[in-house]
Structure formats: C-alpha cells, structure tokens
C-alpha cells in the first residue's frame, strides 16, 4: 500500500523517469507546435500576409427575399421565392378539395390524392415517374385539404425543366386506368379502417367537429371518402370533377430555390395552351358557396376500452371537442385569434417540458396541472378563406366527462376576461418563434408561398406577419373572444357518452359569466 501511494505521489509531482523526460506545458517545445510556426507573431485580429483578401456577400439595401408573382395568359399564376442552395421545391396548388364536392360523390378529393403521380400520357407507370425524379435526387408528394390540393416535388435545381414538365403531366394528363382506381379503392378502404382503429382520435374528431360546425355545407363536408362511395367513384366521375376544378385560373405554380424567369418559361412551355385529358370544355358547375356556420353536435358512441393492443393497454377515455366560429385568414382579426390559440396552448398530460413546449399556456397551468385525471387539453385553430374554427380537445375517464366539459367551457369564458400582459407577450413571442423556425424549411416556404398566392394573389412576408403579431394588445384578445362567445358552439364527442351533458347545457354554460353547467338533478344513480 505504501509503495502504491509513493508511486502515485511521484507521478503527480513529475518525479521518476517519465516525469523528468516530459517537457512542461510552458516549454518552447510545446509552444512551437501549438502556434503553427508559419506566422508566429501575427495576432488573430490581423490578416495573414500573402493571403488573398476575402470577398463577402453584401446586401444592397433591397434584400432579395420578396415573392415574385406572374400571371399567364390562361390565368395560371406563377410564384417564386429565392433561396440559395442546390435543391428546389416546386409544385402546383389548386383550389380544389372536399368543400367543393356538394354536387358530386363525396370522397373524390380523397381518391385524387391517392391517385397522384400514377401513370400519365408520357409516363407508363408510377415507377417511371420515380425513376425520372431519382435522376435529379427528387421526391414527390400530394396532399389534399378541405380547400386545397397540392402536388409537390423537391429535386436538384438543375432539373427544373424536367420537374415542371412532370408536374404538368401528372396534374393535366393522368391516365386513371381501371387497375389504378381499383388499387386506390383498396388504399382508401385501408385508410378508413386505420382511422377508426388508431388510438389517437384527433383526425376523426377534427372531421366530426367540422361536420357539427358546418352542417352539410362547404368545409363541413366529409374530407375522407365515405365507405358507401368507394365502389361508386370511377374514371367518368373523376373527369367530371376535374373538368370544373382543375382549370388554370384555379392553379398556382410555386417554386422555392429557383429563378423566377426560368420558372415562368417552364410554365409557358408545359402549362400554357395544353389540352388536359378530360378535354377543354368550359367549367360550368363550379361551387362558389360561402361557408355557413351552423353549430351543433355530432356524437359517436364507441367502446374505447380496447383501442390499444399490447402489454400496457391504453386507458379507456372519452374524447370531447368544443369549438366556436372565429374568422377567415383574410380578416384582420386572424392574427389576434392566432395569438389567442397560442396563449391557450395545451397538449397531453405527459410532456418532457423545456423551452418552447408551451408549459406556461393556460390549458397547462389551469387545466392539466390542476386536474390530474385529465389526459389531454389542446387548443386548435382551423382557418379558411371565408370562415374559421377555434376549438379545444379534451380527454378523460368516461366517469368524469361532465366535469371535464365544465372545465373547458370555463376556459372558453375566461378567454374574454382579463389578459395578463406577461402571458400575452409570451404567446406572441412563441408564435413569432414558431413562424420563423418553420419558415427555415424549404418545403414549408413553398407551401406558404403557394397558399397565400392562391388565396390573395400576393404574399405577406415573415417580417410583416411578425409586425402584426407584435401589435396585438390585450383588448384585441378580449374583443375577438367576446365576439366568438356570442355564437353557437360546435361539439364533437367520441367514446362512452353516458355522462355527456346535453348540447343545450353546453350552450348555456358558454353564455354564462362563469362557464358553469346548469345543475343536473337525478332521482336515481
């Protein structure tokens, strides 16, 4: 033991042969290698002699980030946003979706989403399209919402001509063969089964709340194809819809990371004067209906005790979503509503926390932190060109549904109360932060450019939106919330609904001062 202590002491003090032979940190032998030796006396604050002077990028006062828009002779708009890099994102956005299916079989937009990038006049199969994109390092995607259909490709900028030609062929010249339609029927059937089986009920509840809020009109029509329509949709049905809604004046060709003049040239080459697969007849049955908010309730009684398989099954929950009409994204109150939605925030009962997770939002502080039995409380804001819907989704044990509904109605009523300056500033900062971080991604910039130009023929830039967010005052939040509370609620309920209050009671609670439900008296329990 004494020998070990002695050896350790010698090592620490630098004794012994190893310690004597190793130079200290301050010795010239070490300084010689750490300084590089070439320029021993040049400080880091001075340029090295003999090295060319670097040339840095400069800004001439007019930053080159504005969105350029050109309208072609056929009415198609071409929009581009400059962004440096090797790759670009280009796509076609169309004013088409489930809200326009009132005169058609419901589910056409869902079918078209699944049929996207299938065989065309120039490409014999989906594999040929993917191989063509692969040569330019490209990927493709199609998404449909209630009011917009979007075909997009990300690829090397050098392949812009090929990409635009491919997009034009996919959108205007699809073959829609019997085999492809049959495969799409199977894909739609599977997606509907998955929608009803998944533990996360949010997509189904969103569908239900829209159906309740806009009864049988526009954005209240089914986004997913009803089961009874799967076998009815065929090539003729699809062509009749495409003839009316896939017209140039309802389209925007958007690109990010491309030169505007080059994109316009490609648009003229492939999208001007071309005859689509369904012919050139004029659109005659275009639905220009304005969304009519009705309010109401949609209930789906279901056994939720076995939604999750596995050794640790998910607890049985009842899910409620309550919504009120807000405003369209074209109105001035859209920004205050966006801030209000961020101020409500919320999420699941489990969160890792950390900056930016919304742990100081109202639905966390007032709901999830105080009521341990609630599994979820989340605010959502859906906005369209003629209406909007602000809603709160909550989940709890079926025996506590009545108490959960009262907690949510109380939070709605408190929206029109006093707004703390600190929580408002936090919500505004978080909204601006999310906006700017999301717009770092090229596909997100593309979607933002395309959707704004499609709706307004121009684009508000991020710094303009941030200025509008900063201008929101507490009285703006109180004003829009008070206006919203004067409308009828929309309610969606899923699960065991034996304890669900009546729609009239929910409506009474939202119209009261404290958000409390009327007392329910029972002779038997």
Give the C-alpha separation, 248 to 255, whole Å: 17
Residue 283 confidence (pLDDT): 74
Residue 422 CA: distances (Å) to CA of 105, 418, 481: 50, 12, 18
pLDDT > 90? residue 262:
yes
Please write the tens of the pLDDT for every residue from 95-112.
999 999 999 999 999 999
pLDDT > 90? residue 505:
yes
The mean pLDDT value for 265-284 works out to: 90
The pTM assigned to this predicted structure is 0.86
Give the C-alpha separation, 490 to 494, whole Å: 14
pLDDT > 60? residue 515:
yes
Lowest mean per-residue pLDDT among 192-196, 213-217, 229-233: 192-196
Give the C-alpha separation, 104 to 287, whole Å: 11
State how beta strands 346-348 and 251-256 pair. unpaired
Residue 271 confidence (pLDDT): 97
**What residues pair up with 68 in beta bridges, in sequence order?**
80
Residue 353 confidence (pLDDT): 54
* Proportion of the chain in helix, strand, coil states, percent, rounded to 5: 40, 15, 40
Please write the tens of the pLDDT for every residue from 164-212.
999 999 999 999 999 999 999 999 999 999 998 888 899 999 999 999 9
Which residue did the predictor score with more confidence, 25 or 39?
Answer: 39
Give the C-alpha separation, 10 to 101, whole Å: 87
Half-sphere exposure for 269 (CA within 13 Å, toward CB): 14
Give the C-alpha separation, 453 to 277, whole Å: 26
Half-sphere exposure for 361 (CA within 13 Å, toward CB): 28
Residue 131 confidence (pLDDT): 97
**Tokens of residue 520, six digits:** 């329910």
CB contact set of 454 (below 8 Å; sequence gap of 6+)? 77, 93, 95, 148, 252
Please write the tens of the pLDDT for every residue from 316-348.
999 999 999 999 999 999 999 999 999 999 888
State the distance between the two ends of the chain, measured CA to CA, in whole angstroms: 79
Please write the tens of the pLDDT for every residue from 30-72.
444 444 555 568 888 888 888 888 887 665 544 556 899 999 9
pLDDT > 70? residue 17:
no
The mean pLDDT value for 22-35 works out to: 46
B/e letters for 14-34, b = 16+ CB within 10 Å, e = fewer, are eeeeeeeeeeeeeeeeeeeee
Give the C-alpha separation, 277 to 388, whole Å: 35
The mean pLDDT value for 376-397 works out to: 97
Residue 59 confidence (pLDDT): 57
H/E stretch holding 252 reads strand 251-256
Please write the tens of the pLDDT for every residue from 476-492.
999 999 999 999 999 99
Q: What is the mean pLDDT of the chain?
A: 89
Residue 79 CA: distances (Å) to CA of 151, 216, 265: 15, 34, 12
pLDDT > 80? residue 4:
no
pLDDT > 70? residue 153:
yes
Lowest mean per-residue pLDDT among 11-25, 159-173, 395-409, 420-434: 11-25
CB contact set of 137 (below 8 Å; sequence gap of 6+)? 87, 155, 156
**What residues pair up with 131 in beta bridges, in sequence order?**
none
Give the C-alpha separation, 392 to 83, whole Å: 37
For domain 296-511, the question of CATH label 3.40.630.10 is answered with: no
The H helix count followed by the E strand count for the chain is 18, 12
If pLDDT is split at 50, 70 and 90, which confidence band does 280 have? confident
Residue 261 CA: distances (Å) to CA of 81, 152, 157, 264, 450: 12, 20, 14, 5, 17
Dihedral sign, Cα of residue 512, residue 514, residue 516, residue 518: negative
3-state secondary structure of 121: coil
Whole-number percent of the chain with pLDDT over 70: 87
Give the C-alpha separation, 254 to 133, whole Å: 18
**Extended beta strands in 274-383, E state:** 296-301, 318-325, 346-348, 374-383
**Tokens of residue 462, six digits:** 């991020």
The mean pLDDT value for 262-287 works out to: 91
Q: Which of 16, 396, 98, 69 is nearest to 263 (CA)?
A: 69
Question: Do 491 and 497 touch, CB atoms closer than 8 A?
Answer: no
Q: Tell me which long-range contacts 33-38 makes (C-beta under 8 A, separation of at least 24).
A: none
Residue 19 confidence (pLDDT): 41
Question: Do 415 and 512 touch, CB atoms closer than 8 A?
Answer: no
Vertex 28 angle, CA 22 and 29, to 5° = 50
Residue 6 confidence (pLDDT): 43
pLDDT > 60? residue 357:
yes
Per-residue three-class SS string for 419-486: CCHHHHHHHHHHHHHHHHHHCCCHHHHHHHHHHHHHHHCCCCCHHHHHHHHHCCCHHHHHHHHHHHHC
Name the CATH superfamily, with its identifier, for domain 68-271: Metalloenzyme, LuxS/M16 peptidase-like (3.30.830.10)
Helix runs in 135-177, H state only: 160-172
The mean pLDDT value for 289-310 works out to: 89
Give the C-alpha separation, 207 to 222, whole Å: 7
CB contact set of 136 (below 8 Å; sequence gap of 6+)? 155, 156, 158, 159, 162, 163
Give the C-alpha separation, 512 to 412, whole Å: 11
The mean pLDDT value for 284-294 works out to: 91
Range(s) of the chain covered by CATH 3.30.830.10: 68-271, 296-511
**Tokens of residue 78, six digits:** 């071409």
What secondary structure letter does DSSP report for 385?
S
Residue 354 confidence (pLDDT): 54
Residue 199 confidence (pLDDT): 81
């Amino acid at each position: 033991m004494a020998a070990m202590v002695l050896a350790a002491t010698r090592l620490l003090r630098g004794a012994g042969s190893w310690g004597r032979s190793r130079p200290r940190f301050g010795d010239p032998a070490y300084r010689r290698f750490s300084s590089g030796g070439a320029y021993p006396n040049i400080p880091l604050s001075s340029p090295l002699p003999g090295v060319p002077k670097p040339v840095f990028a400069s800004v001439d006062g007019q930053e080159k980030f504005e969105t350029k828009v050109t309208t072609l002779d056929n009415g198609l708009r071409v929009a581009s946003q400059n962004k440096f890099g090797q790759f670009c994102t280009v796509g076609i956005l169309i004013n088409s979706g489930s809200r326009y299916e009132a005169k058609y079989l419901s589910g056409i937009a869902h079918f078209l989403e699944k049929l996207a990038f299938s065989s065309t006049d120039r490409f014999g199969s989906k594999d040929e399209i993917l191989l063509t994109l692969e040569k330019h390092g490209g990927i493709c995607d199609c998404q449909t919402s209630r009011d917009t259909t979007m075909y997009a490709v990300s690829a090397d900028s050098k392949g812009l001509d090929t990409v635009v030609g491919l997009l034009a062929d996919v959108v205007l010249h699809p073959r829609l063969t019997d085999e492809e339609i049959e495969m799409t029927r199977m894909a739609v059937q599977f997606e509907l089964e998955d929608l009803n089986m998944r533990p996360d009920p949010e997509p189904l509840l969103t569908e239900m709340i829209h159906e309740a809020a806009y009864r049988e009109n526009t954005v209240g029509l089914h986004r997913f194809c009803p089961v009874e329509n799967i076998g009815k949709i065929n090539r003729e049905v699809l062509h009749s819809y495409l003839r009316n809604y896939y017209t140039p004046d309802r389209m925007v060709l958007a690109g990010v990371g491309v030169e505007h003049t080059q994109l316009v040239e490609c648009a003229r080459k492939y999208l001007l004067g071309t005859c689509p697969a369904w012919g050139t007849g004029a659109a005659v049955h275009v639905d220009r209906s304005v969304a009519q908010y009705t309010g109401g309730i949609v209930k789906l009684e279901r056994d939720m005790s076995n939604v999750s398989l596995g050794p640790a099954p998910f607890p049985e929950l009842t899910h409620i979503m309550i919504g009120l009409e807000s405003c369209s994204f074209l109105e001035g109150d859209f920004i205050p509503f966006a801030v209000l939605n961020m101020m409500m925030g919320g999420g699941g009962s489990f969160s890792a926390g950390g900056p930016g997770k919304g742990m100081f939002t109202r639905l966390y502080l007032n709901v999830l932190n105080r009521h341990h039995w609630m599994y979820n409380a989340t605010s959502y804001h859906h906005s369209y060109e003629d209406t909007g819907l602000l809603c709160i989704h909550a989940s709890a044990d079926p025996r506590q549904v009545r108490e959960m509904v009262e907690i949510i109605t109380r939070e709605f009523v408190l929206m029109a109360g006093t707004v703390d300056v600190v929580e408002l500033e936090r919500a505004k900062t978080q909204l601006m932060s999310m906006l700017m971080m999301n717009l770092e991604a090229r596909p997100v910039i593309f979607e933002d450019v395309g959707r704004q130009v499609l709706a307004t023929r121009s684009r508000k830039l991020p710094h303009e939106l941030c200025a509008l967010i900063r201008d929101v005052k507490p009285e703006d939040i109180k004003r829009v919330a008070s206006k919203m509370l004067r409308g009828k609620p929309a309610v969606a309920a899923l699960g065991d609904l034996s304890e669900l209050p009546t729609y009239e009671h929910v409506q009474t609670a939202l119209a009261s001062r404290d958000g409390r439900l009327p007392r329910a008296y029972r002779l038997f329990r």
